[in-house]
Amino acid sequence: MGNTGTLITPFYDSLLVKVTASGRSFPVALQRMARALKEFRIRGVKTNIPFLENVLVNESFRAGLGTTTLIDTTPRAVSFQRPP
């Protein structure tokens, strides 16, 4: 990704970084994604990592029932508080 010392303005591309996870089962993929997000280090710009962590602990999402309405129906998902 980019050169050391590169300036990223507040108007940076929201696809600055992507992360994916896979596993032999959905629970394994969830566990790997949670670990990847926990270990991510991005400095200088705000990220949506807390939101993604909240989605990963959502019971409906974990049960494979997450839909595009998850954000609308789950206020905690957008509270941007790290899960316990």
pLDDT per 10-residue tile (average), the chain, 84 residues: 63 71 96 94 80 88 88 76 50
Specify the pTM.
0.69
Instruction: Specify the pLDDT at position 31.
Output: 96
Amino acid at 17: V
Q: Which residues have a Cβ under 8 Å from the Cβ of 47 and sit 6 or more positions away?
A: 40
CA 61/CA 68 separation, integer angstroms: 11
